[in-house]
Amino acid sequence: MADMTQPSPEISPLLAVRGLCAGYEQTPVLRGVSFDLQPGELVALLGRNGSGRSTLARALMGLLPVSGSVLFAGTETVGWPAHRMARMGMGYVPENRDVFPTLTVQQNLLLGQKTSPLEPAAWLEEDMYTLFPPLRERQHTPAGVLSGGEQQMLSLCRSLMGNPQLLIIDEPTEGLAPQWVQAVAEFLVQLKARGVSVLLIEQKLAIALDLADRVLLMGRGEIVFDGLPSALAQNSAVRREWLEV
């Protein structure tokens, strides 16, 4: 009897970046960056300071002029402004957290909410308080008086309120006390469980290697390693040249 088994259809990447170049004024930073990110995948973006990681995040989000190609959910987005990227389903949590200091925790969350009759909310305000219980206690407190850890939680949750397909998170544990670092790690685990794709810029190698499905390593504005966390952990030469101080 003939084999009637059909091959599994190939899954298109959620994000496909090809030859991306960007910089500041006359200073080039990204020099032809190319990589894919699959639906539901958590990819850690590693590298030394100055390697181009934050510039890549800003370029993907439409905050810098770029050349090359960025396909997001099959649509070319080069030249799109940040607000259009957000409506398309790309969220961004910058390193500086960027909360609205005079607004309450609740008001910050509601500002991030995507309201569309065609797209039911995947994340609700109550979900944020479940993820980070301290925010419930502070929901009527101005964001400007929160601790650094609480502000980071709020920034992460506000981005989730936009129902992103992909969340780009820049250095979420930077400067946080250990209990907040653990809270951020648990938050990332919850994102993976809910199928949100994540591009995580992180300096703490242990967290990145423990949580990531795949690792990208940047050096001098290019991707110099793309592979499994276990492969990077075993490749001391690559770590020594491009990552370790």
Whether the full predicted model's pTM is greater than 0.85, yes or no, is yes
User: How many Cβ atoms are within 10 Å of 102's Cβ, its own excluded?
Assistant: 9
Q: What is the pLDDT of residues 166-201, one digit of tens each?
A: 999 999 999 898 999 999 999 999 998 989 999 999
Q: What is the pLDDT of residues 5-52, one digit of tens each?
A: 554 456 799 999 999 999 998 899 999 999 999 999 999 999 999 999
The CA dihedral of 210, 33, 87, 27, to the nearest 10 degrees, is 120
Q: How many helices (H) and strands (E) does the chain have?
A: 10, 10
Residue with tokens 């939680």: 153
Partners of residue 31 on adjacent β-strands: 21
- What local confidence, expressed as pLDDT, does residue 214 receive? 97
Domains plus CATH for the chain?
A: 15-242 (3.40.50.300)
Angle between helices 148-160 and 178-193 (to 10 degrees): 10
